[in-house]
């Protein structure tokens, strides 16, 4: 297989235009979600209620004709509420497995930090291996399996911080933010009679998505840029204000997302700017700040930005 840029660009533009019919004025968020889809990664949207997180997930599932499930995480939720449970059938005298809501292609994990660590741990296998093991039986999930999780950064009562192992399984974390004045007025006009998502239809089938995902891996990345990616990740581990830096999974994620970003720009090669543009959403949530630095209100995003300014950019791509 070779990189067919016209075909790849056509696939990306169709999804992007379709999402743009529902998500107004959030081109950056749309681009990041498409990059996550192309890289077969999961996304954590860390933002306040009402800015369109759920709509974005539903619109993505509709655009690519995938099964969508929304899970509202609560403190009393059990792991079996996500994965499913085996129930004894008295008629057949056998146990029958009843799949949980994780058996979907696009899963919205709403307010994921409201579930206990025990329940959150049920996501570790499914997010990494894209399979679920229940009662010794392993079930492979339908591609393109993708988790879009949300959490409210303002409300902490009744929540449980996500463990580092789970945060590391998210390819990116970002905020959508409030719309501008003009955009919000347009949103009011669009939704005056009905929500535009109700009229959204699929524009791409699963075969196109799989082809695009494989093509992304063939986008050229030069050795100097690979070294640049690794130097950025290593710098997070050696920073004085960092207790735990980005893992090698973060380096791989930065490589993959840079390839997808190049495809969005209709290029079959990666530039240093692609890496810089995605370093914060890919690396920052993997960085654990020292308690002493946290007291000074030093945030992971600030540390990654500082590293971007200090690590030398490769001269040749």
What are the chain's domains? 1-218 (3.40.50.300), 220-312 (1.10.8.80)
State the angle between helix axes of 206-216 and 5-20 in degrees (0 to 180), rounded to the nearest 10. Answer: 120
Model pTM score? 0.92
Residue 229 has what pLDDT?
97
- Pairwise CA distance, residues 15 & 294, whole Å: 39
Quote the DSSP letter at residue 113: G
- Pairwise CA distance, residues 251 & 282, whole Å: 9
Take residue 260 and report the two structure tokens written for it.
């997808």
Residue 3 has what pLDDT?
84
Residue 316 has what pLDDT?
58
Cβ–Cβ under 8 Å, residues 287 and 302 = no
Closest CA to 209 of 54, 3, 33, 8: 8
Closest CA to 137 of 98, 92, 101: 98
Q: Where are the alpha helices (DSSP H) in 112-247?
A: 117-120, 122-129, 164-167, 181-190, 206-216, 223-238
- Pairwise CA distance, residues 72 & 148, whole Å: 12
Residue 271 has what pLDDT?
96
Give CA separation, 166 vs 34, 215, 267, 301, in Å: 21, 28, 32, 18
- How many CB atoms lie under 10 A from the CB of residue 277? 18
State pLDDT tens for residues 202-239.
999 999 999 999 999 999 999 999 999 999 999 999 99
What residue ranges of the chain have pLDDT lower than 50? 317
Residue 263 has what pLDDT?
96
């Amino acid at each position: 297989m070779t990189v067919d840029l016209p075909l790849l660009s056509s696939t990306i533009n169709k999804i992007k235009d379709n999402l743009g019919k529902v998500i107004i004025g959030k081109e950056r968020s749309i681009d990041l979600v498409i990059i996550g889809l192309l890289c077969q990664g999961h996304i954590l949207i860390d933002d306040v209620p009402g800015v369109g997180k759920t709509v974005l997930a539903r619109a993505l599932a509709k655009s690519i004709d995938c099964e969508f499930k929304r899970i509202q995480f609560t403190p009393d939720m059990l792991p079996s509420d996500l994965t499913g449970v085996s129930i004894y059938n008295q008629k057949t005298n056998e146990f029958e497995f009843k799949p949980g809501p994780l058996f979907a292609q696009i899963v919205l994990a709403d307010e994921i930090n409201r579930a206990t660590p025990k329940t959150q741990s049920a996501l570790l296998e499914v997010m990494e291996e894209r399979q679920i093991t229940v009662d010794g039986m392993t079930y492979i999930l339908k591609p393109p399996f993708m988790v879009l999780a949300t959490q409210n950064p303002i409300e902490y009562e009744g929540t449980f911080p996500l463990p580092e192992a789970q945060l590391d399984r998210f390819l990116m974390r970002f905020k959508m933010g409030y719309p501008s004045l003009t955009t919000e007025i347009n949103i009011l006009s669009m939704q005056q009679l009905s929500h535009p998502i109700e009229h959204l239809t699929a524009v791409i089938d699963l075969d196109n998505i799989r082809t695009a995902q494989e093509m992304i891996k063939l986008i050229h990345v030069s050795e100097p840029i690979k070294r640049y990616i690794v130097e950025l990740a290593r710098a997070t581990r050696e920073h004085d204000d960092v207790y735990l830096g980005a893992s090698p999974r973060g380096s791989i994620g930065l490589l993959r997302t840079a390839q997808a970003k190049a495809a969005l720009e209709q290029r079959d090669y990666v530039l240093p700017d692609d890496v810089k543009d995605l370093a914060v959403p890919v690396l920052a949530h993997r960085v654990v700040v020292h308690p002493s630095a946290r007291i000074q209100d030093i945030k992971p995003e600030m540390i990654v930005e500082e590293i971007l300014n200090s690590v030398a950019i490769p001269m040749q791509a």
